Chains A and B, each alone.
Chain A
Amino acid sequence: MHGRLKVRTTEEERERKKKEQALKVKAYRAAMVKIQEKRLSHELDGEMLLLTSQILLRNPDVSTLWNIRRECAEQIVLKTEDLEEQQAIFETELNFSEQCLLVNPKSYNCWHHRCWILEHSPKPNWEREVQLCTKYLKMDERNFHTWDYRRYVVEKANIPKQSELDFCTEKIKVNFSNYSSWHHRSLLLPLLYPYEGEAQPKRAMSEEKLQNELEMVLTAAFTDPNDSSAWFYQRWLLGYSRQELDVCAFRCNNKHAMLAFTNPLILDAKDVAITNSEGTVIIKLTNWHSINKTKADNVWFFSLTDNAISYKEFPKEAFLEINRSDISLKKIILKTYKESLFYFKSPNQQHAFSKNVLNELQSQLESCESLLEYEPDSKWTLLTSALLMHAIDAQKYHNKSLENLEKLQKVDALRENYYKDLASRWILEKFLLNWMDSDAVPYELDLRSENLNALYYSQYLCIADKLLLPNNLTNYSSMKQLQGFSIFEY
């Protein structure tokens, strides 16, 4: 159903083709009838293999016929205990499936048949399968069936990860534009060079290796700046990932408490408590509700009105304790504002890279900038330099990185709204960073003069009493987390 060009043919040709096809249909039907008869009478013999092979060589998608061939193999294993004889049928199947792969290397059925045969074979030769993959990847280096199969047989054959990485490097050297190789690489590096530093979310690999990879991928990307494969890999290396699960905002007064997280989660009754400096539990906050009334949410609500505790009884030094295996910061010191306790941590505060990596990023930024002098409209260079600036020092380069995103809205108009949303995200990140240290926290949050196209991080805003949205975003004001903390009603 894919890649069949519609060609104009003469009446004569059409007639000839029709006759040819009519014969094929007849042969197919006759073979299928015969196969089904034989299956009903349990004749799983050589003739059955021959009949099914005639159809499968043309059409490997007829999965029932592969099932029948496996029944034939099972039959022989049951009949004889002689391992050589058993091995013979498995060899036949391996040879046959390879013939089919030559015709159609993207057949799910065919690749799965090979897995099944080898799993059941008395003497599987996994190394041979690795070589087969190497051969098939030479013919088509993007065939994901071959890559999947390779990962499976490499594991079985106990091939060292380092030698797979070498294979991968060779493939990339032959052709930089190979997303499949980059992907394969991204699975191996974190295992071979694990990251042991402090940054959250964890970097993909050790900073030393990261530096090498950054160098390698930029060389690749600059070889053909219009090819996307290497740029995707580069963005991943820059630590492009959603935030670690963490508490980002909390507020509590006499009436209620609101607890916000970086990502949605399902909050459990035994997860949260307020403690004093000695670690004594003052109040256990057990009965949480998702404010959007969903299974998982990033803002949770708790009503204190039923509890016999008032704000006056809270300790001078109060802590929020979170007891969950997926959150690393367990004890959070709370601040006071009028008759309430609160906590706020602005989004995406990036952990600085090591000096060597930073130098590498800085020199990459310079390379991008000089490339942009020659090709000012190069999409990938514009985006990557914006991302580099954001990774090196988001504050310092704030305006400059936004200029790139604005330019991208024109250069890459298909994704105009993506760039607008990304800019909105960065603007709000900066705003919230400043808000965290201002006098207005948690009382007032005034976004009216910010140039926002979307409202990211809305859960961070749930602790503010007063929220002023830009005119173009007033339709967001109905969101539960933007009701204003003091007047919030569940």
Chain B
Amino acid sequence: MDFTTFAKPSTVDTNNDKSNSDLHFWKHVEYIENHGKDQDDFEYCMTEFLRMSGIYWGVTALDIMNQLDRLDRKSIIDFIRRCQCPVTGGFAPCEGHDPHMLYTLSAIQILCIYDALNEIDCEAVVRYVSGLQQFDGSFFGDKWGEVDTRFSFCAVAILTLLGRMEGTINVERAVKFVMSCCNQTDGGFGSKPGAESHAGLIYCCVGFLSLTQSLHLLDIDKLGWWLCERQLTSGGLNGRPEKLPDVCYSWWVLSSLTIMGRLHWISADKLKEFILSCQDNETGGFADRTGNLPDIFHTLFGIGALSLLGFEGLKPINPTLCMPQYVIDRLGIKPQILPKP
């Protein structure tokens, strides 16, 4: 399989911005649309192990830019159907690979955006996810037993999107496990009990608590302070103290602060500046940092963060599920969000 079949032919009108103070809107559209058009591209080939997530990143970014029709819905849905494992019900990143919680979430997210959950066996997905919960409330990523708070997030996100949180998993224990990963020093979360706080995992745990309506368990002021300290003079945010800024961490910190009602604790203008400086004004796409090579992962998180900051011309994004808000509304889902103090 390749991306070629997903991209419709188009006549893209590229503009000629040289500076990075504006969003190179059409360049990014083109970048995502062309992603994978050359199936023999080295990068593309070497990332086939996460193809399902790659498609989710592209589909979501394009939908936020109101350009979803540039991809071919049918071939993407056919691809997803081929990736559902007939034995376990989970989704593989692409054909020939094994199913995993991470790609199962990506598959469900894409299907929700396309309003196409009826195309797959949802009951099998519910069985797969609930079967991975352990006695202590944690979740395995797949049958090989890796435990990580990322998988706790994936599990409740999948079940929420399917409208099947009730009676499928033990939510109380799941919450207890996530809270056992909360650190006293900074109020943040790591991947497992005792693990150092890390913005990516904080997003997963805060998102998890938002989906289980349990944000009251957070020490908002302690965690909020640690998160707003992630902003550096460049305006970008890092994932841990004394690390470099990164567009993807910008998303994780920003969405966590938004969910916690503390977005005003960082400078939105400076962050916007940083994210825009990470655009590649030749090829389109966003890199992790200014001057680096772009990729589709950072392109979604760049676009997503700009949308969260209220950037003009982008559809609103939901901070908990990282999907267009209108899709979340259509599904009738209301992840918890706290007000400003």
Contacts and interface: CB of A to CB of B under 8 A. Distances in A.
Interface of A: 1-6, 21-22, 24-25, 28-29, 32, 36, 59, 61-64, 66-67, 70, 108, 112, 115-116, 142, 144, 147-148, 151, 177, 179-180, 182-184, 186-187, 190, 204, 227-229, 232-233, 236, 240-242, 263-265, 294-298, 413-418, 421, 424-425, 454-456
B20 to A, nearest CB: 13
B265 A421 contact: yes
Nearest to A1: B295
Given A204-B184, A296-B216, A177 B242 contact: yes
A416 B268 CA distance: 12
Contacts of B198: 144
B interface majority secondary structure: loop
Contacts of A29: 45
A6 B185 CA distance: 38
B133 interface: no
Contacts of B216: 263-265, 296-298
Contact of B219 (A187, A242, A296): A242
B264 interface: yes
Interface in B290-334: 291-293, 295, 297-298
A21 B40 CA distance: 9
Nearest to A25: B45
B240 A232 contact: no
A115 to B, nearest CB: 8
A241 B192 CA distance: 21
B185 A186 contact: yes
Given A179-B240, A240-B222, A2 B246 contact: yes
Given A142-B240, A454-B341, A233 B196 contact: no
B121 interface: no
Interface of B: 40, 42, 45-46, 49-50, 92, 96-98, 100, 142, 144-146, 148, 183-186, 190-192, 194-198, 213-214, 216, 219-222, 224-226, 228-229, 231, 233, 235, 240-243, 246, 264-267, 270, 280, 287-289, 291-293, 295, 297-298, 340-341
Contacts of B298: 1
Given A233-B185, A296-B216, A228 B241 contact: yes
> Most chain-A CB neighbours within 10 Å: which of B185, B192, B298?
B185
Given A5-B293, A144-B198, A228 B98 contact: no
A232 B144 CA distance: 37
Contacts of B266: 414-415
B96 A6 contact: no
A241 B184 contact: yes
Given A64-B49, A204-B184, A417-B264, A187 B222 contact: no
B256 to A, nearest CB: 15
A70 B144 contact: yes
B197 A183 contact: yes
A294 B334 CA distance: 12
A296 B216 CA distance: 7
Nearest to B213: A295
> Most chain-A CB neighbours within 10 Å: which of B46, B213, B240?
B46
Given A63-B100, A417-B265, A2 B341 contact: no
Contacts of B191: 144, 148
Nearest to B212: A295
A177 B145 CA distance: 34
B183 A186 contact: yes
Nearest to A454: B341
Contact of B265 (A4, A229, A233, A418): A418
B97 A64 contact: yes
A28 B45 contact: yes
Contacts, number: 160
A179 B228 CA distance: 16
A112 B243 CA distance: 24
Contacts of B235: 414
B78 to A, nearest CB: 20
A389 to B, nearest CB: 18
Given A183-B196, A418-B265, A236 B185 contact: yes
A25 B42 contact: yes
B231 A67 contact: no
Nearest to B340: A454
B190 A148 contact: yes
B221 A242 contact: yes
Contact of B222 (A1, A6, A233, A241): A241
10 A-B pairs with least C-beta separation: A264-B216, A21-B42, A296-B216, A454-B341, A64-B97, A418-B265, A179-B241, A236-B185, A62-B49, A112-B146
B42 A186 contact: no
A61 B40 CA distance: 19
Given A177-B242, A414-B270, A415-B265, A112 B96 contact: no
A243 B257 CA distance: 21
Contact of A3 (B148, B219, B292): B292
Contacts of A421: 265, 341
Nearest to B214: A296
A326 B308 CA distance: 37
A236 B187 CA distance: 10
Contacts of B142: 67
A51 B144 CA distance: 21
B154 to A, nearest CB: 14
A6 B183 CA distance: 37
A264 B338 CA distance: 12
Contacts of A1: 288, 295, 297-298
Nearest to A229: B241
A1 B266 CA distance: 26
Contact of A148 (B186, B192, B267): B192
B46 A232 contact: no
Contacts of B97: 62-64
